């Protein structure tokens, strides 16, 4: 061993001890003939001082050299309050260079102006920086809390295959050609969904896995081709049971990591989330709910509103208190809601008892007074109004609510507001395919009271799927699964999946339900998203050791890369030029 202590360990009470430290040279300063070196390792930083006699030992030592030093701990006259070891220094009398270092292409410091491409290419240098290192340490801490919590509840971690079969979850699979079976492929799992359900049928009762998942999708800023899911499934259980398990997991994580002890978990039905927040991932850290004001305009003379109501649209309002919006602000917000297909953004301001704004002349005094009463408007309030088809109104006004909530500081950034969103629709209409698709996945149980709507009234058929939302982000989704073969067949029928096609795609899975499947339910929690929220970053790359770019490239290793022809020959593959 090259050290007696780490660089984060020595304190006042170690005064006088002879110690051996090893680490990286974070900084070297010469003060006359004395040399100070800040020696860094994962655990912290220690000041090492070489006096006149010993300074020659480090005359060639530069930043990021790896050195081993020996010396005596000495209490400093003027402590450095920024360092945990700041009360002491080590007066060194020996130094061995363990490895030299060239000038690094980026500075190893908490703040960096290095381009992301440089940081990714030299990821091993980026990891030396506290902001990245600390996130990786926290990630390990979180998975440890998850495992501890679940183990105490009798959950068993089971490793399921990575070389698996295509799962029917819609996204594109990463494929792995088989060498032994020419023309056949494994698929990397998009989730262990089928395996975990089979484990339930296998009687494993309570399963979890910190599972690697893969999706070959075009990446967005918060996506990576491979990601990690805290995957949980339990038998003889329903929503209440799985919610309780997940809530305990979250409570323990937030207690350990954030010292927060009073998490609350609200419950909001999907339809209410859409109605009041215009989103199935509402940020409930602030109010400003959307309010339906259609009733006020049943007999309006304002043609735009009456037209909307005539074609069964809705008129909804978002009230923002005490903020002066300029004409320019309003123009920008109008552009913003157009992204969400709203045709316009109307507004009214109340100022010293009088209204102004785009709707001021269009509406009657009576309508304005009704609005004032219904919305409880106070002086300095602004009301944003969108009239359109309900879906457009909800989504556009919901997006506006989020935007303003963030930009106007309506959100307490220290709050963690969880909400279970329940009773999702069973299906969603695909414009592209002209038919209903499974909103969650085809193994999700419908609400038992909606069984009669499964086939005949898809638009009003709800499911036992649920999401857990945290501060406006979807942290997990899950569902109570179908465990009855007849019901599963009916759902396939509803999804226009013929028995033949269903058999071909997941016949082995369906067959398993012939042999006694217990009722079961589960969730998959996005680990990266959770860590991002806990470490307050919106860059998913920050929470992975070796992330890929938005085009799925590892800038460090340059994967994916060309392979030798004989590797292709072994696999019986030819590369075809794509158009």
Instruction: Determine which residue in the list 214, 276, 297, 302 makes contact with a second copy, applying CB under 8 A.
Output: 214
Judged by CB under 8 A, does residue 477 bind a second copy? no
| Closer by beta carbon to a second copy, 246 or else 439 | 246
Omega before 560 cis (within 30°)? yes
Residues 523-552 that bind a second copy (CB under 8 A): 544-546, 548, 551-552
Judged by CB under 8 A, does residue 204 bind a second copy? yes
Judged by CB under 8 A, does residue 75 bind a second copy? no
Residues 423-442 that bind a second copy (CB under 8 A): none
| Closer by beta carbon to a second copy, 182 or else 412 | 182
Instruction: Determine which residue in the list 34, 115, 156, 171 makes contact with a second copy, applying CB under 8 A.
Output: 156
Residues 162-191 that bind a second copy (CB under 8 A): 162-166, 172-188
Which residue from 358, 348, 342, 347 is spatially nearest to 396, judged by alpha carbons?
342
Judged by CB under 8 A, does residue 100 bind a second copy? yes
Supply φ then ψ for residue 524, to 5 degrees. Answer: -130, 120
User: Minimum Å distance from CB 519 to a second copy?
Assistant: 6
Q: Which stretch binds a second copy (CB under 8 A): 127-135, 253-261, 272-280, 336-344?
A: 127-135
Q: Are 290 and 302 in contact (CB under 8 A)?
A: no
Residue position matching structure tokens 């339910």: 521
Decide: helix, strand or coil at residue 167: coil
| Closer by beta carbon to a second copy, 115 or else 563 | 563
User: Minimum Å distance from CB 131 to a second copy?
Assistant: 13
Beta bridge partners of 422: 269
User: Minimum Å distance from CB 520 to a second copy?
Assistant: 10
Distances in Å between the alpha carbon of 190 and those of 165, 170, 432, 520?
A: 10, 9, 23, 20
Judged by CB under 8 A, does residue 363 bind a second copy? no
**What's the rounded Cα separation, in Å, for the pair 190 and 173?**
7
Instruction: Determine which residue in the list 17, 72, 76, 147 makes contact with a second copy, applying CB under 8 A.
Output: 147
**What's the rounded Cα separation, in Å, for the pair 463 and 149?**
28
Structure tokens at 35: 């040399």
Judged by CB under 8 A, does residue 573 bind a second copy? yes
**What's the rounded Cα separation, in Å, for the pair 395 and 121?**
39
User: Minimum Å distance from CB 175 to a second copy?
Assistant: 6
User: Minimum Å distance from CB 372 to a second copy?
Assistant: 50
Residues 438-467 that bind a second copy (CB under 8 A): none
Query: 434: phi > 0 → left, psi -120 to 50 → alpha, else beta; which?
Result: left
CA angle 378/381/382 to nearest 5° reads 145
**What's the rounded Cα separation, in Å, for the pair 249 and 502?**
35
Q: Are 500 and 452 in contact (CB under 8 A)?
A: no
Q: Which stretch binds a second copy (CB under 8 A): 231-239, 353-361, 368-376, 398-406?
A: 231-239
């Amino acid at each position: 061993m090259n050290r007696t202590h780490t660089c984060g360990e020595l304190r006042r009470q170690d005064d006088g001890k002879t110690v051996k430290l090893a680490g990286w040279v974070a900084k070297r300063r010469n003060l006359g003939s004395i040399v100070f070196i800040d020696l860094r390792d994962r655990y912290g930083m220690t000041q090492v001082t070489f006096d006149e006699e010993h300074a020659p030992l480090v005359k060639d030592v530069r930043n990021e050299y790896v050195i081993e030093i020996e010396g005596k701990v000495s209490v400093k006259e003027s402590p450095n309050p920024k360092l945990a070891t700041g009360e002491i220094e080590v007066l060194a009398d020996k130094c061995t260079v363990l490895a030299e270092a060239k000038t690094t292409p980026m500075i190893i410091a908490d703040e960096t102006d290095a381009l992301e491409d440089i940081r990714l290419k030299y990821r091993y240098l980026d990891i030396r920086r506290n902001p990245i290192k600390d996130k990786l340490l926290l990630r390990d801490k979180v998975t440890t809390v998850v495992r501890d919590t679940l183990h105490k509840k009798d959950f068993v971690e089971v490793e399921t295959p990575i070389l698996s079969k295509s799962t029917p979850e819609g996204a594109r699979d990463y494929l792995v050609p088989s060498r032994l079976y020419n023309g056949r492929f494994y698929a990397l799992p998009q989730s262990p969904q089928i395996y975990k359900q089979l484990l339930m049928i296998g009687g494993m009762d309570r399963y979890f896995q910190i599972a690697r998942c893969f999706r070959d999708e075009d990446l967005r800023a918060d996506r990576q081709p491979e990601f990690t899911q805290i995957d949980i499934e339990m038998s003889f259980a329903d929503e209440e049971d799985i919610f309780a398990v997940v809530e305990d997991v979250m409570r323990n994580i937030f207690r350990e990591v954030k010292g927060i002890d009073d998490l609350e978990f609200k419950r909001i039905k999907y339809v209410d989330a859409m109605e009041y927040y215009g989103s199935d991932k509402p940020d409930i850290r602030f109010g400003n709910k959307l309010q339906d004001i259609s009733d006020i305009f049943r007999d309006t003379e304002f043609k735009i509103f009456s037209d909307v109501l005539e074609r069964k649209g809705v008129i909804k309002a978002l009230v923002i208190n005490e903020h002066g919006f300029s004409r320019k602000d309003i123009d920008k917000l109008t552009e913003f809601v157009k992204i969400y297909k709203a045709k316009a953004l109307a507004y009214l301001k109340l100022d010293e008892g009088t209204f102004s704004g785009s709707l001021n002349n269009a509406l009657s005094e009576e309508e304005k007074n009704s609005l004032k009463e219904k919305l409880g408007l106070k002086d300095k309030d602004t009301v944003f109004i969108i009239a359109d088809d309900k879906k457009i109104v909800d989504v556009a006004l919901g997006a506006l609510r989020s935007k303003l909530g963030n930009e106007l500081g309506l959100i307490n950034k220290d709050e963690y507001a969880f909400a279970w969103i329940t009773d999702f629709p069973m299906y969603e209409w695909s414009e592209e395919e002209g038919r209903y698709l499974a909103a969650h996945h085809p193994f999700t149980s419908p609400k038992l009271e909606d069984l009669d709507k499964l086939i005949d009234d898809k638009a009003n058929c709800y499911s036992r799927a649920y999401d857990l939302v945290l501060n406006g982000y979807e942290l997990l989704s899950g569902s109570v699964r179908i465990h009855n073969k007849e019901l599963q067949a009916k759902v396939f029928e509803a999804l226009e999946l013929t028995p033949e096609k269903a058999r071909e795609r997941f016949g082995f899975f369906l067959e398993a339900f012939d042999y006694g499947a217990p009722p079961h339910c589960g969730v998959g929690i996005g680990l990266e998203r959770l860590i991002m929220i806990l470490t307050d970053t919106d860059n998913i790359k920050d929470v992975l050791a070796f992330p890929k770019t938005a085009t799925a490239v590892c800038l460090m290793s340059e994967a994916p890369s060309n392979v030798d022809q004989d590797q292709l020959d072994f696999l019986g593959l030819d590369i075809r030029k794509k158009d």
